Structure 1
């Protein structure tokens, strides 16, 4: 049995490191451009002026894939479910995930689409702005969910994000609601647009949001029966609902915050799959999310379980 399943997106991330004032100029100039810390969907590759970037990198990403890697790094037997395009081998998407400890044997290849893309802009302080193009991720539908439902149903924890169709997630949650036993479901509504209805599903146990997502979904989250976990950058992580708890992140010097939320969610799900209490899982996830910001990039910046545990031990000893 798989400990954690992440049903979601796989992207090729094109990351551009730019001065803060240049990104602010793009934010002002283009209606589609995300706000700081926000992920938005766009219809196609953005048309941008020639940018004098400090660096321009293309790596494997996507919230579903990133969170799967984070769960695997935290020690969970992890599978990723989703779709990639005809160009995945060019970027080594599946090979990279497999090398990082994630099972990819049920990922579908879509011949007539490209793998999803993400355009990530990172400023001098490590803050990120993200715009995504669905590509093959849009092929994850109810039929795909039904084909792989047994693998989802028998997992200990299920990770969901909002970079695949809401209909696909509605399908899996609808089926899980009728199960006598089911995985713990961790939902990260990023991007927030269209995610509201999923917060009302009884199969969702934990919703993890950052400040931007919390503001966008505040009304729906107020009616949510499970636990809402709100991450706030360097400020305390606050959990409310079934458990009321706060965790202060370790002090770090961030250089890239892009993968912090994914490291948090994947680690949280991994510990929940082990039967750890939510408070302990939140502490580990908070450390993992913080440590993921001190290295540029996303997947390779996610700390392993040993590193997280060492920080937790030091924090406990220091009081």
Structure 2
């Protein structure tokens, strides 16, 4: 099997179901409140946020992408940190249950596990506010301790929900390796992601609509492949030969984590030797199927599920 490493965030998702009026009120109160599909980071939780979540799920872009890569058939290892409350939520156990190697995950005894406040509207679209928690404890010493596992991987998944400095240093170190992994960057949150885009080691970048708008000039100058995630609209791939992929129409319960599913499947299928069009097509179907259930990871399909769905839809035409 292809080897995938995801270096990134591990969160507990507190999901709040909200009406358009409630989200408008939060936008009016906080000028930083995210737009539809956007992720923002805060150091502390505003008092106006609900004390009790409607539902608690497992999340974090790094963990979501690791779970998706494993479900796509990759031999996947998660690198990141959790807090003192990880047993309460079964964080490691849930990842292991998805087929992810969790032996590299460390516990920081001074902070809680990262938390994401996910606001889901009536259309299933989301806005995410992240409190880093243990994710902020990832430093170069931790990354360096796992450097050999990263170098030995076929594909490395990175995001922007952990401190940028150790990630930037890792990319610099990888630039000296004769046989480095393929690097896929999810530039979320967009703030601060431009510095990572400047590194020639990044091969693929996968912005959604809001991230593309925030980083448009940097993405236009990017030398690698840009895979633009656009919700239910066509995925646009800016590569040597540009192309689009139309996602299938499915009933949407919650779009949270769909972009992470696309990234995980993309990495796993590229590492397995699929062509770029093949990998994006499979990843797009997987991302769509994941929206049928609530929670970032509850609806992640297997590779067999994706292929069966694609075959059934081809045969139905």
The 3-state SS of whatever aligns with 1:22 is: helix
Look up the match of 1:26: 26
Look up the match of 1:96: 94
CA 1:2/1:111 → structure 2, altered by over 3 Å: closer, same or farther?
Answer: farther
Look up the match of 2:178: 180
Of 105, 109, 116 in structure 1, the residue corresponding to residue 107 of structure 2 is 109
Look up the match of 2:155: 157
Deviates more, 1:235-244 or 1:104-113: 235-244
- Does structure 1 conserve the Cα–Cα contact (< 8 Å) formed by 2:2 and 2:272? no
- Does structure 1 conserve the Cα–Cα contact (< 8 Å) formed by 2:2 and 2:268? no
Q: Measure how far apart 1:43 and its partner are.
A: 1.0
- Does structure 1 conserve the Cα–Cα contact (< 8 Å) formed by 2:16 and 2:119? yes
Q: Measure how far apart 1:177 and its partner are.
A: 0.8
Deviates more, 1:297-306 or 1:211-220: 297-306
Of 76, 84, 93 in structure 2, the residue corresponding to residue 78 of structure 1 is 76
Look up the match of 1:125: 123
Query: Matched residues in 1 for 2:85 and 2:33: separation?
Result: 26
Query: Matched residues in 2 for 1:242 and 1:43: separation?
Result: 40
Query: Matched residues in 2 for 1:21 and 1:256: separation?
Result: 19
Q: TM-score with structure 1 length normalisation? A: 0.95
Q: Measure how far apart 1:6 and its partner are.
A: 0.4
Look up the match of 1:207: 205
Q: Measure how far apart 1:9 and its partner are.
A: 0.3
- Does structure 1 conserve the Cα–Cα contact (< 8 Å) formed by 2:2 and 2:271? no
Look up the match of 1:36: 36
CA 1:18/1:282 → structure 2, altered by over 3 Å: closer, same or farther?
Answer: same
Q: Measure how far apart 1:75 and its partner are.
A: 1.1
Q: Measure how far apart 1:312 and its partner are.
A: 2.4
Query: Matched residues in 2 for 1:4 and 1:162: separation?
Result: 18
Residue by residue over 1:84-103, the C-alpha shift from the partner in whole angstroms, topping out at 9 and shown as x without a partner, is 11111111111111111111
- Does structure 1 conserve the Cα–Cα contact (< 8 Å) formed by 2:58 and 2:295? no
Look up the match of 2:268: 270
- Does structure 2 conserve the Cα–Cα contact (< 8 Å) formed by 1:2 and 1:151? no
Deviates more, 1:304-313 or 1:107-116: 304-313
Q: Which runs of 5+ in 2 are unaligned?
A: none
Look up the match of 1:64: 62
> What is the RMSD computed on CA atoms of the aligned residues?
1.6
Query: Matched residues in 1 for 2:192 and 2:232: separation?
Result: 27
Query: Matched residues in 2 for 1:126 and 1:70: separation?
Result: 20
The 3-state SS of whatever aligns with 1:32 is: coil
Q: Measure how far apart 1:311 and its partner are.
A: 2.3
Of 290, 296, 305 in structure 1, the residue corresponding to residue 294 of structure 2 is 296
Query: Matched residues in 1 for 2:215 and 2:176: separation?
Result: 26
Which residues of 2 match residues 165-176 of structure 1 at below 5 A? 165-176=163-174
Query: Matched residues in 1 for 2:264 and 2:96: separation?
Result: 16
The 3-state SS of whatever aligns with 1:15 is: strand
- Does structure 1 conserve the Cα–Cα contact (< 8 Å) formed by 2:11 and 2:113? yes
CA 1:216/1:256 → structure 2, altered by over 3 Å: closer, same or farther?
Answer: same
Query: Matched residues in 2 for 1:73 and 1:233: separation?
Result: 21
Q: Measure how far apart 1:20 and its partner are.
A: 2.3
Query: Matched residues in 2 for 1:304 and 1:83: separation?
Result: 26
Query: Matched residues in 1 for 2:79 and 2:178: separation?
Result: 23
Q: Measure how far apart 1:58 and its partner are.
A: 1.3
Residue by residue over 1:107-126, the C-alpha shift from the partner in whole angstroms, topping out at 9 and shown as x without a partner, is 11111111111100001100
CA 1:92/1:49 → structure 2, altered by over 3 Å: closer, same or farther?
Answer: closer
Q: Which runs of 5+ in 1 are unaligned?
A: none
Residue by residue over 1:121-179, the C-alpha shift from the partner in whole angstroms, topping out at 9 and shown as x without a partner, is 00110010100011110111111111100000111111001000111110111111111
